[in-house]
Amino acid sequence: MKHWLKIIALTVSATAFGQQSFTLDEAWKYALDHNVNVQKARIDEAIAAQKVKETTGIGFPQINAQAKYQDYLKIPVMYVDFANTGNLQEFKMAQKHNINTGITVTQLLFNGSYLVGLQSSKTYRETAKLIAEKTQLSVMEGVMMTYAGILATDENIKTLEENKRILDKNLNDTRITYKVGLIEFQNVEQLEYSQKSMATALENLKRTRQKLVNGFKYMIGYPQEEPITLTSSFNEVVLKNNTLYNADAAAVDNHVDVRLQQNMVKTNELLLKLEKSKALPSLAAFYSANANAVGNSFDAIKWNYPMLWGLQLDIPIFSGLQRHWRTEQAKLNLEKARLDLTDKKLNLKNNINAAAIDFENAIASFNNAKELIALSESIYRKQQIKFKEGMGTSFELSQAESQLFDAQRSYYEAALNLIQMRTKLDQASGLLNTMTADPGRINQSISDPNINTLNTNQKTVQDQTGVQTQQAQPQNTPTKNP
């Protein structure tokens, strides 16, 4: 029995969390379906839709029924002296059994506040929808940043592991050379120092990756205990972001923040209308039908059936100028909302310009990082040759090695920064939600000499001493022979 329960549990788990590998687009889609904040925003949107229906219901007939039964355990009495003789006569004030039932119908015929309330509820629904959209865009931005961070870390780990393999081989060769008495022991110690430092850096980077993965799982709403694989390559993500930016495509007026502020202006316009509508009369109709019964016993109960209908007109006349001053305050709040809208547009344009400059700087840094890798590889390879031939010291080799490792690390940092700056630029421009739907964004030709696509390959370089080194070499930046 336990065996079958385990099988069922594993089957349910596999069904519930069958997807364990994600491209970037799939991660976006999964996050928009499972992220807690996105789900809460959708619930708020549904609540807003129900609020519209609730407000609309105020204009429908309001029907209420009542039923009441009273049984006097001791009937109240009244004493009256009709002849002023001092002889009081007792009269019962009620019957023992009393039954009152009725139904009341009211219908609002005209009320200015109700009409404004209907418009306000629809604006409230639009606001909830825009907030849900803003939440989704925020999650998409976070997913992009974290996804790219994990891929950059993976590439960095691969590079460090390859560098460590080369360093281990160099250390082993240096120890052999030392044993035959051709070099000093200090050369061995220098490489041992580099090896230990690299091993620690590699382990730290692996732990950092796990932290990023855990954060990514939380962001997309994926179970922490389930394994996950990212299938988009680092090159693909960089390519998706390393494209020419068209400033004319910036949709400031369609930006979600601008639309939210426009909705705030509309809300303040309705609040002003609401204050003005409070000076209008209101008209309502009502109808009431009742069935009442009294009697000292159930056999002797007498029924009567009163009914009535009517109209009620309420006319506000004077409120001590309270309505006037509330209206003036609403006008000022509307003016503030319009100023906020103007400021929001100006702020977005400023953010777009700043983000565009940051993106251009990121492109320049990325291209420079690719060139520095080629230079540092060339310097490192030449220093290896000199060291093998006894013309260079271990300190000089260590310096060249550190320079290469720094260049490799800077390369991945520059690539990651490029992705982050493009994502921020798209967010500021209101283009973030088109990233997955715009094939031109991915396939756009990168013919500008200042922008090169990233397509790294593993290039094996064999120096004149026979030692092979394998480094991440960007495309179109070949390593020249010494």
Q: What is the pTM of this model?
A: 0.74
Res 275: pLDDT: 92
Is 214 found in the same domain as 81? no
| Same domain (yes/no): 360, 413 | yes
Final residue of a structural domain among 315, 332, 363: 315
Residues 238 and 225 both lie in one domain: yes
State pLDDT tens for residues 186-217: 888 888 888 898 899 999 999 999 999 999 99
The Cα 311–Cα 476 span in angstroms is 86
Q: The tokens of 78 are what?
A: 């009244």
pLDDT-derived band of residue 465, with 50, 70 and 90 as boundaries? very low
Q: Is there a domain that residue 13 lies in?
A: no
Q: Say whether both 81 and 153 belong to one domain.
A: no
181 lies in the same domain as 295: no
Q: What angle do CA 262, 264, 268 make, to 5 degrees?
A: 120
Q: Which of these ranges, 94-98, 153-157, 200-204, 212-216, has the smallest mean pLDDT?
A: 94-98
In three-state form (DSSP H/G/I as H, E/B as E, the rest C), the secondary structure along the chain is CHHHHHHHHHHHHHHHCCCCEECHHHHHHHHHHHCHHHHHHHHHHHHHHHHHHHHHHHHCCEEEEEEEEEECCCCCEEEECCCCCCCCEEEECCCCEEEEEEEEEEEEEECHHHHHHHHHHHHHHHHHHHHHHHHHHHHHHHHHHHHHHHHHHHHHHHHHHHHHHHHHHHHHHHHHHHHCCCCCHHHHHHHHHHHHHHHHHHHHHHHHHHHHHHHHHHHHCCCCCCCCEECCCHHHHHHHHCCCCCHHHCCCCCCHHHHHHHHHHHHHHHHHHHHHHCCCCEEEEEEEEEEEEEECCHHHCEEECCEEEEEEEECCCCCCCHHHHHHHHHHHHHHHHHHHHHHHHHHHHHHHHHHHHHHHHHHHHHHHHHHHHHHHHHHHHHHHHHHHCCCCCHHHHHHHHHHHHHHHHHHHHHHHHHHHHHHHHHHHHCCHHHCCCCHHHHHCCCCCCCCCCCCCEEEEEECCCCCEEEEEECCCCCCCCC
Which one-letter amino acid corresponds to residue 281?
Answer: P
Q: Are residues 340 and 424 in the same domain?
A: yes
Are residues 242 and 212 located together in one domain of the fold? yes
* Gap between the Cα atoms of 253 and 347, Å rounded: 12
9 in a structural domain: no
Q: Please, are residues 378 and 479 in contact by the beta-carbon 8 Å criterion?
A: yes
Please state, in angstroms and rounded to a whole number, the distance separating the CA atoms of residues 394 and 171: 10
pLDDT of residue 432: 74
Which of 262, 293, 315 is the endpoint of a domain? 315
Question: What pLDDT is attached to residue 250?
Answer: 65
Q: Are both 228 and 181 inside the same structural domain? A: yes
For the chain, the residue count is: 482
Answer whether residue 139 is part of any domain.
yes
Residue 378, domain member (yes or no): yes
Query: Is residue 32 pLDDT above 60, yes or no?
Result: yes
Q: Is residue 428 part of a domain?
A: yes
Domains held by the chain: number: 2
One domain for residues 389 and 347:
yes
Q: Is residue 11 part of a domain?
A: no
The residue among 298, 315, 332 that closes a domain is 315
Are residue 138 and residue 120 in the same domain, yes or no? yes
Give the CATH number for residue 42: 1.20.1600.10
Tens digits of per-residue pLDDT, 115-143?
999 989 999 999 999 999 999 999 999 99
- Stretch 328-347: mean pLDDT: 95
Q: What percent of the chain has pLDDT over 90?
A: 49
Task: Compare 246 and 384 and report the one with higher pLDDT.
Answer: 384
Lowest mean pLDDT among 102-111, 236-245, 336-345, 407-416: 236-245
**Same domain membership, residue 289 and residue 183:** no
On whether both 168 and 202 belong to a single domain, the answer is yes
Instruction: Work out whether the CA dihedral 369, 372, 378, 382 comes out positive or negative.
Output: negative
In a domain, 14, yes or no: no
Structural domain boundaries, residue 335: 20-58+113-275+323-473
pLDDT over threshold 90, residue 327: yes
Residue 155 lies in a domain: yes
